[in-house]
A and B are shown apart, each in its own frame.
Chain A
Amino acid sequence: MLKVPYVTNYLSEHFAEDDYPTLEGYLRRGGYAAARKAITQMTPDQVIDVVKASGLQGRGGAGFPTGLKWSFMPKTTDKPKYLACNADESEPGSFKDRILLERAPHKLLEGILIAAWATQAQTTFIYCRGEYAFPAAQLARAIDEAYAKGYLGKRVMGSRFSHEVVLMLGAGAYIAGEETGLLESLEGKMAKPRKKPPFPAEHGAFGMPTTVNNVETFCHVPHIIGNGAAWFKGFGTEKSPGTTIFGVSGHVVRPGLYELPLGTRLDEIVFEHAGGLSAGRKVKGVIPGGMSMPILPAGQLDVPMANEFLRERKTMLGTGGIMVMDDTTCMVRAGWVITYFFRDESCGQCTQCREGTGWMHKIFERIERGAGSRGDLEILLDVASKMDGQTICAFADAAAWPVQGLLRHFREDFEAHVSHGKCPFPQSFEL
């Protein structure tokens, strides 16, 4: 089980209590009251209006407004409507959904129930990455408890609303976390993302209208319905309300999870909450939002962690996975690891991505070995620019952005490799 966050807020306040993952423990702390309120006292449209008014943005990486997404589901249709919960957390640097699954499975189910009522969905498919055996087991037990109590299945909480939940385990593919890759995987196929349109709200899982939300996104919903949109907007910034669970990793004294309002400054998270770096070491760079997001150099950490501020620095919040690298770090090696990952995980259906991820990795390999030339840096930028925005899904963008970020801020590391004919950072982490 993951360690409890060092800083907690409404999502994680009960995580240290052993019985919180159980139905009894969740009910004892007011659980399922918001779902009862939504289903018995509110119309589906009223629920959507509250979520829209709260300004909740998806926490899976793209930050799309959740209420708006729900409103795309067709109101008049003969087809069954579905929800999909994206529990395929695999963005490097991210482990927040894991703790929500482990320690708050009923909060997730309550959020799903409210979303199901709002969109009038008959079934939710929860797609959890296959490696998360323990988190999935915690969730499976919670689903059984909720069925036994009458909170899932026919006539939820004695109402006329019915809802089924199906938990599926993935089998190790980063791309299955992409919205439509996930739908393909749910249907028993290779997780190759679909062309859009049609969007999932029209043609989603098994061809039916479907809304896909991330685990954490669902977990905010009971708090919003229980306390109101104005309460939720009391956390975070005007444009990015609420908290999120930041994951801090890399060269810090206290790596771990921190639930903080959006808009908390990155330097506050790294130096105050995560304890800074070990004695004598300085920050070289920080990836602010999972590995797909461009890196920030040491001089740019005075940024509030919300998209409206991060965009000005050409990066994004992503999944809130913060990776800290100290002054021993070779940024060419970091790029080697990053491009290896994207080369490995490209699904291969778009040429720019399939070939581009491989080329970029080969160039990083060459530069790190000391066999690079000056022209290699321009080739890297050229390949990245031909991937970004040119493919079926955002994976190619996610592969190009970190490379562009590394060259934007650490070009001198690359040039030093080329002019020295070897890696000039002997103390850097081992490849």
Chain B
Amino acid sequence: MVISAETRARIDLEIAKYPKRRGALLPTLHLVQEELGHISLDTAKEVAEIFAIAPVEVMEVVTFYNMFFDRPQGRHHVYVCTNLPCSLRGARGLLRELEKHLGVQTGETTPDGRITLGHEECLGACAYAPMMRIDGKYHEDLDVDEAKRIVDALR
């Protein structure tokens, strides 16, 4: 058992909200990932049992959606939006600077496991570009120095 009893209880509350049990699969994966950091095949097997579906049906959902991870991630997720409105205002240059600053390529995790650097498609902050999303929080109207300061403060 990798999913805690507490998370399991929260999953049951989600299941109760939907006319069909499987409606709660995305909310469940959010809860499980919040607890475990990613959704491994073993975790997917356990989730599959809860929903009486095949593990592959869980994994196809995990790998379809960008916010679910099938492998371990850094302690912090730093995502720079690189869609067109952000690119027009320098987001790709900012991402290159962060790559140099952290010594990783986009998509990689720092060797100390502190930060996974990534880029995302439009995050709905188009007028306040460039921007990044860190652990669910938006940081907008950035310049390179400010972005480095924010990233350096992550422990």
B-contacting residues of A (Cβ < 8 Å)? Answer: 2-3, 80, 89-95, 97-98, 123, 129-134, 166, 168-174, 185-191, 206, 208, 247-251, 255-257, 287, 291, 321, 323, 325, 329, 333-334, 337-338, 341, 344-345, 347, 429-431
Contacts and interface: CB of A to CB of B under 8 A. Distances in A.
Nearest to A345: B121
B27 interface: yes
Given A94-B124, A208-B19, A248-B127, A188 B92 contact: no
A168 B90 contact: no
Contacts of B29: 171
B87 to A, nearest CB: 5
B144 interface: no
Q: Which one of A80, A91, A171, A208 has the highest number of Cβ atoms from chain B below 10 Å of its Cβ? A: A171
B60 interface: yes
B89 interface: yes
B93 interface: yes
A188 B24 contact: yes
A187 B87 contact: no
A161 to B, nearest CB: 19
Contacts of A430: 87, 90, 92-93, 96
Contacts of A291: 83-84, 122
Interface in B1-53: 17-20, 22-27, 29-30, 51
B150 interface: no
B151 interface: no
A191 B90 CA distance: 31
Nearest to B53: A188
Contact of B88 (A91, A129, A168, A329): A329
A337 B66 CA distance: 18
Contact of B124 (A89, A189, A250, A337): A89
B14 to A, nearest CB: 9
A206 B19 contact: yes
Contacts of B67: 130-131, 170-172
A249 B121 contact: no
A341 B85 contact: no
Contact of A166 (B17, B26, B30, B68): B17
Contacts of A174: 121
Contacts of A251: 88-89
Contacts of A256: 127
B126 A166 contact: no
Contact of B61 (A188, A333, A341, A345): A188
A287 B87 CA distance: 14
A132 B88 contact: no
Interface string B113-137: 0000000111111111100010011
Contacts of B65: 130, 170-173, 191
Q: Which one of B30, B123, B124, B137 has the highest number of Cβ atoms from chain A below 10 Å of its Cβ? A: B124
A132 B124 contact: yes
Contact of A95 (B84, B126, B136): B126
A114 to B, nearest CB: 23
A134 B135 CA distance: 12
12 contacts: A3-B128, A89-B124, A123-B19, A171-B67, A187-B20, A190-B60, A247-B126, A249-B129, A250-B89, A251-B88, A323-B88, A429-B92
Task: Pick the 6 closest A-B CB pairs, nearest first.
Answer: A188-B25, A172-B66, A171-B65, A255-B127, A249-B126, A249-B85
A424 B75 CA distance: 42
A166 B20 CA distance: 13
A327 to B, nearest CB: 13
B91 to A, nearest CB: 9
B87 A90 contact: no
Contacts of B92: 429-431
Contact of A341 (B26, B121, B138): B121
B121 A92 contact: yes
B84 A92 contact: yes
A92 B122 contact: yes
A133 B123 CA distance: 11
Contact of A257 (B68, B89, B127): B127
A256 B90 CA distance: 17
Contact of A133 (B20, B24, B121, B136): B136
A255 B126 CA distance: 8
Contact of B64 (A133, A190, A321): A190
Contacts of B138: 134
Contacts of B64: 173, 190-191, 347
